[in-house]
Amino acid sequence: MAYLKVGEENNTDIAIYYEDRGTGKPVVLVHGWPLSGASWERQSAALLAAGYRVITYDRRGFGRSTQPSTGYDYDTLARDTFELIEALDLHDTTLVGFSMGGGEVARYFGKYNHSGRVTKAVFMSAIPPALRHSGDNPEGIDPAVFEGIKRGIEADRFDFLDAFLKNFYNKKLVGGTDISDAAIHASFNIASASSYHAFLNCVDAWLEDFRGDIAQIKVPTLVIHGDSDQILPIDATGKRIAALIPGAQLHVVAGGPHGLNWTHATEVNKALLAFLK
C-alpha cells in the first residue's frame, strides 16, 4: 500500500492512498462519488493486460485515504491529482475522470498542467461543463435539486445511498442483466466507508463551473457517456463537453447508465484502448 502526503490538518498528515501498477505509458484513473479507486477494477485489468502503467487513487475522504474536514472543493481536489502526478514524475500521461472525477480532470488542465505531463484526457460519465442553472447556463440544473440531495444525506445517508446506486446502475431498468445485486452491494460497502463530511460536502463542489478549465484543454480528448444516464444526463454533460473541446471524440454507449464502466465494461474498455493507441 502506498500513500502520498498532500497536506496537514491539526498536525496530522492528509494522505491519499494510491496504487501504481504495470509499465508502459501511464494512465491515471480518477474515480467518481462516492466510491474509490477500487471502482476501476474492470478498466485497470484491461489496461494492464494491454501494457499500460495504471495509477488509481482514492480521493481524500474516500476509500483508504485520510478523511479530513477540509479540501472538498475542486481547486484542492485537482491539486491532490497534481501532487500525485508530480510525485510519481509521470510523463506522456492520460488522465481519465469518471463522474465527479471529470471535475478533477477539467480543473487539472485549467490550473496545473503547465509542465505538459498530461497529453490525453478522457471524460467518462463526467460532471462538466457546468451543472448550475444560470442566465448564461440554461442547460444547467436548479441548485435546489442539490440542496435536496444534501437533505437526504443529512437525514440518512445510507438510505439515500441505497436508492442512489440503483439509479447509478439503472438497476430498475436493466434488472440483473448488466449488474448483479452483489456488485451493487460491493459499491454500497465502498461508499459507506467514506467520511460523512466528504460524502456531504462534495455535493457543493458539483456546482462549480468548468467551462473556463475546459477551454484550456488542447490535447486529444475522448468523451464516453451513456444515453440512459439518470445521474448526469448526456445532453447536459457529455455532449456539451465534446462540443466545447475542438476535435474531441464522443462515444455514446447505447442504453448505458451512469455506472457504465461496470455495466458496459467491454464496450467502454474497447473505446478507451482504441483512443489510447
Cα–Cα nearest to 76, from 61, 90, 89, 64? 61
80 part of the active site: no
CA dist 14 and 111 (Å) reads 21
Of these residues, 80, 178, 213, 229, which one is catalytic? 229
* Cα 137 to Cα 211: distance, rounded to the nearest angstrom: 10
Rounded to whole angstroms, the Cα distance separating 95 from 117 reads 10
| 232-234-236-238 Cα dihedral, nearest 10 degrees | 100
Angle, vertex CA 242, rays to CA 237 and CA 245, nearest 5: 125
258 catalytic per annotation: yes
Instruction: Say which of 99, 187, 194, 195 is annotated catalytic.
Output: 99
Residue 5, helix vs strand vs coil? strand
The x, y and z cell numbers of residue 210, run together, are 468548468
Name the DSSP class of 71.
Answer: -
Known catalytic residue at 99: yes
Catalytic residues: 99, 229, 258
